[in-house]
Amino acid sequence: MAIIHRATLTPTKMELLATWLATPASGGLEGPGELRQVGSYRFDDPDGEVGIEALLVTRDGPVRQAVLTYRAAPLEGAGAHLIATTEHSVLGRRWVYDGQGDPVAMAAYGRALAGLQHQAPLEVWEGDTFVETREPTVRLTVWDPAASPDGLSVRLAREPGAVETGSPALLATWDGGSGVVATA
């Protein structure tokens, strides 16, 4: 399960994304208007060390996917994929990476494309107290699952797109839309 702490992030996820999505490294995000979140989903790290979250965002134009990982320490050798650091009022400093450069995120997507890992249930906690289970704003479905995650070449979609037949795909559905967010 993905544990969501009732906490303050400085800067917020949307502030981080607004800055990062303006850079060439992110592929950019076209469109007028303020950045807003359409939905999100998470995967669990089997070791419980890395937060894996995909946010679907828009600027009153196409929907973009930003896969983020949250770590308690820098990921060695992944400096080019570092988006920023943030201060989490419960967990402390977090290093936020583009998930495309994080092996833990890519392995989770590989398992998902093989039908071996599902999106994480969202549990909200306040300190040591369980508050609620939150309904996901994005639902994932595996299309034509791979036989195994071993050796899969996972591709994360920056812009959710159409299903291509004959290839394993992860289809996301959110209020008002759907699209493929990862393929093998």
Which pLDDT does position 107 carry in this prediction? 97
20 φ/ψ angles, rounded to the nearest 5 degrees: -65, -40
pLDDT for residue 165 is more than 90: no
- 44 or 89: which leads in pLDDT: 44
> Would the pLDDT of 68 be above 80?
yes
Task: Note the pLDDT of residue 7.
Answer: 77
The pLDDT, as a whole number, for residue 131 is 85
Residue, of 67 and 24, whose pLDDT is higher: 67
**Domain ranges across the chain:** 2-137
Q: How far apart are CA 109 and CA 104, in angstroms?
A: 9
Mean pLDDT of the chain: 90
Angle (CA) 38-55-127 rounded to 5° is 105
Question: What's the pLDDT at 100?
Answer: 93
Distance CA 118, CA 13 (A): 23
Give the confidence band of 1 by pLDDT, cuts at 50, 70, 90.
Answer: low
> DSSP assignment, residue 50?
-
Residues 72-118: pLDDT tens digits? 999 988 778 999 999 988 888 999 999 999 999 999 999 999 999 99
Helix, strand or coil, per DSSP, at residue 19: helix
Contact at 8 Å (CB) between 130 and 143?
A: no
With cut-offs at 50, 70 and 90, classify the pLDDT of residue 168. very high
Q: Residue range 32-61: average pLDDT? A: 93
Q: What is the pLDDT of residues 152-163, one digit of tens each?
A: 899 999 999 887
